[in-house]
Amino acid sequence: MNVKENIKTIIVKKPLKLDCGKTINNYHLAYETYGTLNEKKDNAILVFHALSGDQFVSGTNPITNKSGWWSYAVGPDKAIDTNKFFVICANVIGGCMGSYGPNSIDPITNKTVGTNFPVITINDMVNAQYNLLEFFKIDKLFSVTGGSMGGMQVLQFVANFPDKTKTAIPIACTASHSAQNIALNELGRQAIMADKNWNNGNYFNTGSSPNNGLAVARMAAHITYLSKKSLEDKFGRKLQERDDLKFSFDADFQIESYLRHQGNAFVDRFDANSYLYITRAMDYFDLVKQYKGNLSDAFKGSKVKFFIISFTSDWLYPTPENKEIVIALNAAGADVGFIEITSDKGHDSFLLDVPDFLKSVKNFIEANY
């Protein structure tokens, strides 16, 4: 996977002190833009991607040749209309699509950084991406938005930079990672580290990668993005291209074949070490703890207009966790709207063609522009 071509990057020379205590500087931040920044520079929307996402929000990803991960929502005349808005999205630090991460080359050793990469947090990711505002000379964004881990970044951005955006749309997220989600992430990390080819993270240039472990991690995670009903409706107990059970450990059921395909496709575009670091950052996310047990203090005096969105069938970041954010915002006296979208597509609803969701985003954006 050659990510050096077809990507835009800036080199951030300003030192960034990470939460782990280490400092990075002269690091790459890869990004992509859609639409045009107007003369007033007040039409910019910063989109934050989720765990397996990247900077290629819409159109065709030039690295994978697949559609951008939010093509349903971002583009001309879509919910986030690129005829009107200038959309920016960066690959998070720790990622594997051009930003500084475990697959970057250390200029001192001329070797891949690997697990010498420092452990990072959502806070570190957001502080790194803030440099894009200075790069584009944008004093204030119109909006920040994202789903899942992207929603966590939205909350962190507003807490860190309360005067730098007019609106904020956190989608299907949480203010602190639950024990269940930490457990699920640990399952994925252990699958990767148990793969003999992981080699303590030093698998670059060895001719082999921990593809089996990463595929299993992806399979386990992918189940959590769906709902029981969507799995039943799409697959049920249907067999895979046969009339009867094979009495083996091949993929008898369609759902097994589907998950194996998801896992195998993922290893072609994602780095195993990046998966470790990014899931760790999600687990460490705890905005409540950052503000000493009072989430509303994160948004005290905020003039940002919020729109929180959750989905009925999302069991990864369920509606009660989204409502906790709404309650904290209300307690802080913030301007906040909330909607729970009826969808049977699970957590992935924010990535899919869910008309009520897309319409809600479009209406909120147009009402406040």
- Catalytically active residues are 148, 314, 347
Distance, in Å, from the CA atom of 106 to the CA atom of 118, rounded to the nearest integer, reads 13
Beta-strand relationship, 27-34 and 8-12:
antiparallel
- For 250-265, the DSSP string reads S--BHHHHHHHHHHHH
Nearest to 122, CA basis, from 66, 50, 26: 50
Nearest to 87, CA basis, from 142, 28, 158: 142
Q: Which pair of structure tokens corresponds to residue 168?
A: 């904020």
Q: What are phi and psi of 42, to 5 degrees?
A: -115, 15
Terminal Cα distance for the chain, rounded: 39
Residue whose token pair is 């205590």: 21
Please answer whether residues 114 and 102 qualify as being in contact, where contact means their C-beta atoms are separated by less than 8 angstroms.
Answer: yes
Residues 267, 270, 273: CA angle, nearest 5 degrees? 105
Distance, in Å, from the CA atom of 279 to the CA atom of 273, rounded to the nearest integer, reads 10
Using H for helix, E for strand and C for coil, what is the string for 151-194? HHHHHHHHHHCCCCEEEEEEECCCCECCHHHHHHHHHHHHHHHH
Beta-strand relationship, 165-171 and 74-75:
unpaired
Distance, in Å, from the CA atom of 96 to the CA atom of 267, rounded to the nearest integer, reads 12
